[in-house]
Amino acid sequence: MASKNNLPSFTRVLIAFCLVLFVFLFLPASLSNLSEILKYLLLVGIIVLLMMYNQVLGSLASSLSPVQDMDQSESENANVVESNRTNTLYDNLKQLVLSTVKALNPKFDSAIYMIDPEAGVFSSQGSNADDFLDSIPTNNSIISSILQQSSTVYQKDDKDAWNEIFENKPWRGSECVIGSPISLHGAVAGFVLTRIDHFSDLTDKDKSVLGAMGKFISHGLGSLESLEKHIMGEENKARILELLSELNFKSDESQVLDHFKYLIRTFFYYDRLTVSLQNENELNLVIKLVDGIEDEFVKDTEFPSHGTLHGLPTVSGEVILSQNWKKSHANVARFNSTEAPTDFQSVLGVPIMIDGESRGSLFIESMTGRPYTKADEQTFILIGRVLGASLHWLFEYEKIYQNATHDGLSKLLNHQTYKERFAEEIQRAKRFQHHMAVLIFDLDKFKRINDTLGHPYGDYVIQTVAKIMSENVRTIDVVARYGGEEFAIILINTTAEMAMVVAQRIVDNIAEYPYSMDGERVRMTISGGMSEYPTHSENLKDLIDLADKAMYNAKQNGGNGIIIHSNGTATTKSTQNG
């Protein structure tokens, strides 16, 4: 058991490390094994871990008090149970982080380091490769460069400093590291370090994401410190702990809001709860959740943020606390000027702060006129802060996830994500004995567009073709930009013969579309090839290669068509239309 003197130091390290773990979950990732569990706000998990650990410390302190009622052995047993729960959470979070880093790019190896000021080193808190050393001197030149600029540093440029970070072994010189500093109270507390074995594997997108990790950690620390300041009493803490712990890794926005609805129900009496968030233009608010009495302002209703009671917290960033809002705010309507009269009297509304900005409002209303108190106000502010922090990380995850898995131009799945989805679909098809149609498309004579009309026109064509493809398949199907002017589609639970209708429709729609930009009109066609799982192969690479070869056969036949791969010397099915 840690000594009393060691507890504060250990607590700081544990909190900082948990924050590091939290950020990693929201890294952009290929997510082959985690795609169904990664939509979870790990901030909640960290809050749970922090609160549980604080309870452990509280129980330990109580066990040393001469006035406690609990038997000493019972107290120690309770501490062991809580400690085991904490250790389990800690281990689970660590495993999630290491798995997620590998999912981002299997060629990346990462480690988390936090400063040990007494020893004058940065100590490893975990890694997904054995050759990261347990500690790094604080004056290591590579780390100094990373902490100052979040720059990329190459092995060949500083071999001695490199060997202070990694086990001494033969290096090719193509390796590089990129890091992101973690700051606490304006001072450097650690960093996340990622090694890439060949610098060519590091994309600009990777640099952007990896370089932002420290920012996310610092923001998360500020959120947690704010929570600790505002939590009032052990009873409130226990309620929040119990209800927030119900969130799981599959949570999306609606699920998160539902959990907060149940949380608010445990604290307050109300006749109506309303959660509203800004829309994209930030001029209006959109009702995201309603609990209790419903009126014309239901979920998904938009209303102006200015000049409305429910918009005031968002606009002003201030709390609305009134026993009779019609008197205290006589110059505003609840949602709009044409609304029907209501019997709501007492109201309590707080802003939802997301990344330091007021982005929505959280409101409870009562018809009884029984006033909400200042204590209610403080608790509601706390819940608004927790909700805002949770939504912030949800939104950040969605942005990062989209950037990591989708092509920036076409908004379709990117090449890497396509292959991982393909592997998943093969396993699913094998389990349920389904067929799949695999299609590879390539725009005909696309180079002439970029050469004669410029790359902006080419981008316009790519985006238009991507839209046509997406509109002609089902939501369960997979559509990706395979590269350049190539596209790939997987039609789930579909044979090649069945897929011909969809494939031909795509070919025809692309050929018939009136491409026009800046007064320039062009005609575009596309060629496609198709293979079928498991008829032609059960191997991912073979299925792609067979579809690719069939596509080139279509091009050789004049393009603007689709061909199904044929085994042996059988006649190839072709549906060229000119």
pLDDT at 382: 83
Q: Which residues contact 102 (CB under 8 A, 6 or more apart)?
A: 108, 128
pLDDT digits (tens, 9 = 90+) for 274-314: 999 998 777 899 999 999 998 999 999 999 999 999 999 99
pLDDT at 219: 59
pLDDT at 237: 54
**Residue 531: pLDDT over 60:** yes
* CATH entry, 246-396, from 3.40.366.10, 3.30.450.40, 3.30.1370.10, 3.50.50.60: 3.30.450.40
Burial of 332 (0-12, 13-18, 19+ CB in 10 A): middle
Superfamily of structural domain 110-197: GAF domain (3.30.450.40)
The three-class DSSP label of residue 153 is strand
In whole angstroms, give the CA distance from residue 253 to residue 39: 9
Determine if the peptide bond prior to 534 is cis (ω within 30°). Answer: yes
Element of type H or E holding 132: none
In whole angstroms, give the CA distance from residue 511 to residue 304: 44
Q: Where are the domains of the chain?
A: 110-197, 246-396, 415-574
Average pLDDT for residues 43-66, to the nearest whole number?
42
Average pLDDT for residues 68-76, to the nearest whole number?
48
Tokens for 474?
């089902």
Residues of the chain with pLDDT > 70, as a percent, come to: 72
In whole angstroms, give the CA distance from residue 480 to residue 488: 5
Quick check: 344 and 365 in contact, CB under 8 A? yes
| 513 — pLDDT class (breaks 50, 70, 90) | very high
In whole angstroms, give the CA distance from residue 429 to residue 59: 52
In this predicted model, which residue has the larger pLDDT, 250 or 277?
277
pTM passes above 0.85? no
pLDDT at 234: 53
Quick check: 179 and 147 in contact, CB under 8 A? yes
**Residue 432: pLDDT over 50:** yes
Tokens for 357?
């900005």
pLDDT at 423: 93
DSSP state, residue 341: P
Average pLDDT for residues 443-460, to the nearest whole number?
94
In this predicted model, which residue has the larger pLDDT, 405 or 329?
329
Quick check: 500 and 575 in contact, CB under 8 A? yes
If you average pLDDT over each of 125-134, 174-183, 359-368, 403-412, which comes out highest?
Answer: 359-368
Tokens for 550?
């069939």
pLDDT digits (tens, 9 = 90+) for 459-490: 999 999 999 999 999 999 999 999 999 999 99
Mean pLDDT, the chain, whole residue set: 79
Q: For 369-376, which contacts have Cβ atoms below 8 Å and span 24 or more sequence positions?
A: 369/323, 369/324, 369/345, 370/269, 370/346, 371/323, 371/346, 372/268, 372/321, 372/323, 372/346, 372/347, 372/348, 374/321, 375/232, 376/267, 376/268, 376/348
* Fold match flag (110-197 vs 246-396): yes
| 13 — pLDDT class (breaks 50, 70, 90) | very low
Overall size of the chain counted in residues: 578
In whole angstroms, give the CA distance from residue 47 to residue 227: 9
Element of type H or E holding 555: helix 540-556
Average pLDDT for residues 140-149, to the nearest whole number?
87
What one-character-per-residue DSSP string does 481-537 give? EEETTEEEEEEET--HHHHHHHHHHHHHHHHHS-EEETTEEE---EEEEEEEETTT-
DSSP state, residue 412: S
In this predicted model, which residue has the larger pLDDT, 185 or 278?
278
Residue 396: CA count within 13 A, CB half-sphere:
25
Residue 313: CA count within 13 A, CB half-sphere:
29
pLDDT at 243: 52
Question: Which residues sit opposite 304 in a β-bridge?
Answer: 284
Scored b (16 or more CB within 10 A) or e, 127-152 reads: bbeeebbeebebebebbebbbeebeb
Residue 146: CA count within 13 A, CB half-sphere:
35
| 85 — pLDDT class (breaks 50, 70, 90) | very low
Residues of the chain with pLDDT > 90, as a percent, come to: 48
In whole angstroms, give the CA distance from residue 561 to residue 506: 10
3-state helix, strand, coil in the chain (%, to 5): 45, 20, 30
Quick check: 136 and 122 in contact, CB under 8 A? yes
pLDDT digits (tens, 9 = 90+) for 331-351: 999 999 899 999 999 999 999
Q: Which residues contact 23 (CB under 8 A, 6 or more apart)?
A: 192, 213, 216, 217, 220
Tell me the Ramachandran region of residue 443: left when phi exceeds 0, alpha when psi lies from -120 to 50, beta otherwise. Answer: beta
CA max distance for the chain = 93
Lowest-confidence pick of 87-96, 137-146, 183-192 = 87-96
pLDDT at 567: 59
**Of 283, 256, 236, nearest in space to 39 by CA:** 256
**Of 133, 84, 118, nearest in space to 9 by CA:** 118
Tokens for 267?
């604290």
Average pLDDT for residues 542-546, to the nearest whole number?
96
Print the SS3 string covering 64-123: CCCCCCCCHHHHHHHHHHHHHHHHHHHHHHHHHHHHHHHHHCCCEEEEEEEEECCCCEEE
**Residue 569: pLDDT over 60:** no
Quick check: 223 and 23 in contact, CB under 8 A? no
**Of 274, 243, 230, 267, nearest in space to 382 by CA:** 230
pLDDT digits (tens, 9 = 90+) for 109-139: 888 888 998 888 999 988 888 899 999 999 9
What are the angstrom distances between the C-alpha of 422 and each of 133, 414, 492, 522?
A: 37, 12, 10, 33
Average pLDDT for residues 400-425, to the nearest whole number?
87
Sheet holding 320-322, edge to edge: 302-304, 284-292, 272-278, 357-366, 346-354, 320-322
Second CATH level (architecture) for the domain 415-574: 2-Layer Sandwich (3.30)
Side chain identity at residue 64, one-letter code: L
